[in-house]
Amino acid sequence: MASFSGYLPYAFALIIAIPFLVLLRQFVHSYITLKNQEIKLLSVKSNSENKAQAYERMTLFMERIKPSNLVQRFDKGLAVHEFIFLTEKTINDEFEYNSSQQLYLTKNSWQNIVDAKLAVIDLLHKTYEGLSGTTSLEEFKTVFIVNYMNSDDYMASTMENLRKEILIIA
């Protein structure tokens, strides 16, 4: 028995330490689990904020390329072909600037935006081809707006689809 009594203080310390170690392990495990949930929640929140911001940016892009807003840009002293060149360049530059937003949009929404952009550029060129070479810039802008108003309102339908999708996400 003498040999066992030498280990008695160690056994007693072990018996007291085991419950504390178990509680410490459970605390650490719970803490890590909560932190992981917090990180996931922040990630989801960040992702939904990115999506909302993407829809806002692309709605703003659509608003900027509406023909009624395009005709207000640039100096009135430009020739028609200069206006078309600058307008097309502006549309393409802004589109390229916002192209990363496609990561957050549905394929359908992105395709509608691309189609609307191309339709505006196409309308610019078709309007120019339909007029004589002596047309003033103001006449061109008027005919451009009239041609847009006589076509399907693809801009409004695209923006309405964006609004519907953002409501689903939010």
Q: Write the CB contacts of 61 (distance below 8 Å, at least 6 apart in sequence).
A: 94, 95, 98, 113
Question: Counting Cβ atoms within 10 Å, is residue 147 exposed (0-12), middle (13-18) or buried (19+)?
Answer: middle
Handedness of CA 21, 23, 24, 25 (dihedral sign): positive
Token pair of 9 as six digits:
């203080």
pLDDT in tens, 46-77: 677 888 889 999 999 999 999 989 988 887 88
pLDDT mean across residues, the chain: 87
Q: What is the pTM assigned to this prediction?
A: 0.70
What is the pLDDT at residue 61?
94
In the predicted model, is pLDDT for residue 153 greater than 80?
Answer: yes
Token pair of 93 as six digits:
């530059």
In the predicted model, is pLDDT for residue 90 greater than 80?
Answer: yes
What is the pLDDT at residue 62?
93
In the predicted model, is pLDDT for residue 40 greater than 90?
Answer: no
Q: For residues 116 and 62, is the Cβ–Cβ distance under 8 A?
A: yes
Buried b (16+ CB within 10 A) or exposed e, 124-133: beebbeeeee
Confidence of residue 2 (pLDDT cuts 50, 70, 90): low
Token pair of 126 as six digits:
């078709």
Residue 7 has phi, psi (to 5 degrees) of -95, -5
